Chains A and B, each alone.
Chain A
Amino acid sequence: MTVILGQTFTGISIGAVLLLIALGLSLTFGQMNVINMAHGEFIMAGAYTTYVLQQHLAGAGLSLLLALPVAFLVAGVLGVALEHLLIRRLYLRPLDTLLVTWGVSLMLQQLARDLFGAPNVQTRAPDWLTGHLTLPLGGAELSLPTSRLFILALALAAVGTLALVLRRTALGRRVRAVVQHRELAEVSGIPTGRVDRTTFFLGSGLAGIAGVALTLVGPIGPAMGTNVIIDAFLVIVAGGIGRLRGCVVAAFVLGVLQSVLEWSTTVSVAKVAVLVALVAFLQWRPQGLYTLRTRSLV
């Protein structure tokens, strides 16, 4: 029983990381049909922001909390720059954005290698995130690392905030309008260009926050973006483009699936099995878990 609960918790915490990574992507992918391969490098930028802040500030806790808004800004500005310089010109060619942003991600990785060196670096976790929370459970005890709980809380807070922004604010209304029907939104007087830029800022900023969270679970290195981006895209494909709900459900399901499979087999077999499961799932729901119903043919 403890094992099952423990694995489920591991799965949920993997899911929380996936959710944080994929959240920003689902926004940019959903809104503009832009496949931003440089998203992983925005995550990396967030992680290095945390590292730099910790080098210059004394307290690990303070620098971590401060890193959240700073990383959001850094990654967001990177995203807006990318959108303004390149992606804006490629809206009619979604597949080409994939290749272009991959080129950008190559350059950003090399930049990180030149600035911080090729070897991975580490940050110190603050004291209040190094312990375990032990829950009494019948005879046994369930021990949950507080850093994982922090990430879970962060992911849920990010989803909550994003949902609130999308549902309740004027910006969110415009974003939803553009996602559902770009042309109609445009003739209704919505400045789609400005909405796109804001969306890209938010989506990329969320990548920065994901980067801060990733410093708590692993090393920071130039290749960290590449390692996570594929999983994030799988979450989007499974969840359905442009749906927040799909993204949340898919992230946690994939997280738990991966954790259970890794526990019962090996890491490498689990990766393949998750992919096979996804292809099988797409047989049943080719557009993902939740789809946006439109009348368009493509």
Chain B
Amino acid sequence: MTLTAPPPPAAPPEPARARRLLPAAGPRRTLAAFALGAVLLFAVAPLALTDFRLGLLAKYLCTAIVAVGVCLAWGRGGLLTLGQGVFFGLGGYAMAMHLKLADAGPGNLPDFMVLYGTTDTLPWWWVPFANPVFALAATVLLPMGVAALLGSLIFRRRVRGAYFALLSQALTAAFAIWLVGQQATTGGTNGLTDIQGFFGYALDDPANQRMVYFVIALVLLALIALARQLIHSRYGELLVAVRDSEERVRFLGYDPARVKLVVYVVAAGMAGLAGALFVPAVGIISPALIGIVPSIELVIGAAVGGRASLLGAVLGALAVAWAKTALSEEFPAAWTYFQGLLFVVVVAFLPGGLASLARTVRARLARRRTGADEDGAEQKEAAV
């Protein structure tokens, strides 16, 4: 008998288990929720909101796109990635570099390079971004490539848990510091600002801003659908298994490193796409948007809404982004306290996020009736 060939993969999971993972996932209800989301995003919001508010919503939707990836990687895969800012930034800078070059016209330097006057010729790594196809591909493939490289190095050596979270955070810190240091070629602290056009459309025209909003909303819905398919596939089952008991999965003959790598790369691609869409929506990308703090904020939204629930993560990200704008404008100090408190309360006492509020309350009530013997089991299940 040889020990080389792993046993063939197990039979497809029991449907009962799949349903338990995502209680409200009946096909009809999902379709209804999807249709409702589409109506809200494509009809209600553009009619009800002013151009300014719609622009803000477009910005929030970008964070929601990142949250879809965070939900997959963290909620489903248990990878607490505090470095989504890097991928968001890579996508954003790739897009902004192309738009800056397009604004400047062929053969000209982007305005900030002329302003700083430190370089006469375009740096070599800017050159390919003049090509729109290359730039668009790079917004997704560049973050995915970086994630694949880093992930394969890290996961293969079984660096995990806290180590992984800290490394990803250090990565985003280093990236932001590096960007600040390369003032002449990346715009430094200011970042790439004052972007005028988006593939030939002037961004100061409200109609074109609306178009950007529709593109973002469409991408968000498409990615949610993709993530839902992924969650309900065999791979999705395997992902949860790796999260809950990595060693057991390894003993069953699977390679957990590969499972984690896939979700890390997918989440990175989503963050990159979000960054790329953020640029035309807001008109700027800068190190301040991708450092440690914004990277954690991207995770917070998912945590508040419910990290393991796709809908919860997306709505949570939207709500937190909205609350930040609404509260921080008027009471900046109070917002910081509120944000900290929200974080502490949700993560410590409601690890499933607001999506699990009803379930948690129901469980508490049931336990009070039957006696508090299942306390430990409940907590362990909630620990992700």
Question: Do the two shown chains form a genuine complex with each other?
Answer: yes
B292 engages A226 (CB within 8 Å): yes
Residue of B whose beta carbon sits closest to that of A35? B162
- Number of B positions contacting A (CB below 8 A): 49
Q: Within 8 Å CB of A99, what residues of B?
A: 80, 296, 299-300, 303, 343, 347
Q: Mark B138-171, 1 if CB is under 8 A from A, else 0.
A: 0000000000001001100111011101110111
Query: A286 and B159 in contact (CB under 8 A), knowing A95-B80, A234-B170, A268-B178?
Result: yes
Which of A5-13, A147-155, A186-194, A271-279 interfaces with chain B? A271-279
B171 engages A94 (CB within 8 Å): no
Q: Within 8 Å CB of A35, what residues of B?
A: 162, 165-166
Q: Is residue B363 within 8 Å, beta carbon to beta carbon, of the partner chain?
A: no
Q: Mark A247-283, 1 if CB is under 8 A from B, else 0.
A: 0000000000000000000111101101100110011
Q: Is residue B45 within 8 Å, beta carbon to beta carbon, of the partner chain?
A: no
- CB A46 to nearest CB in B, in angstroms, measures 20
Q: Is residue A57 within 8 Å, beta carbon to beta carbon, of the partner chain?
A: no
- CB B26 to nearest CB in A, in angstroms, measures 30
Query: A103 and B178 in contact (CB under 8 A), knowing A94-B162, A109-B336, A286-B157?
Result: no
A150 CA / B54 CA spacing, docked (Å): 57
- CB A78 to nearest CB in B, in angstroms, measures 15
A109 CA / B383 CA spacing, docked (Å): 28
In-complex Cβ contact of B340 among A90, A103, A275 (8 A): A103
B348 engages A100 (CB within 8 Å): yes
A29 CA / B162 CA spacing, docked (Å): 10
Q: Is residue B342 within 8 Å, beta carbon to beta carbon, of the partner chain?
A: yes
Q: Is residue B339 within 8 Å, beta carbon to beta carbon, of the partner chain?
A: yes
A230 CA / B169 CA spacing, docked (Å): 8
B166 engages A233 (CB within 8 Å): yes
Q: Mark A211-241, 1 if CB is under 8 A from B, else 0.
A: 0000000000000001000100110110000
Residue of B167, B341, B348, B380 with most partner-chain A CB within 10 A: B348
A90 engages B337 (CB within 8 Å): no
**B residues bordering A, Cβ < 8 Å?**
78, 80, 150, 153-154, 157-159, 161-163, 165-167, 169-171, 173-175, 177-178, 180-182, 246-247, 292-293, 296, 299-300, 303, 333, 336-337, 339-344, 347-348, 351, 379-380, 383-384
**Across the A-B interface, the 6 shortest Cβ-Cβ residue pairs:** A268-B181, A103-B343, A106-B340, A107-B340, A286-B157, A110-B336
- Known interface pairs A86-B348, A226-B292, A237-B167; 9 further A-B residue pairs with C-beta atoms within 8 A, sorted by A's residue number: A35-B162, A95-B384, A96-B348, A104-B340, A230-B166, A233-B166, A268-B177, A275-B174, A279-B154
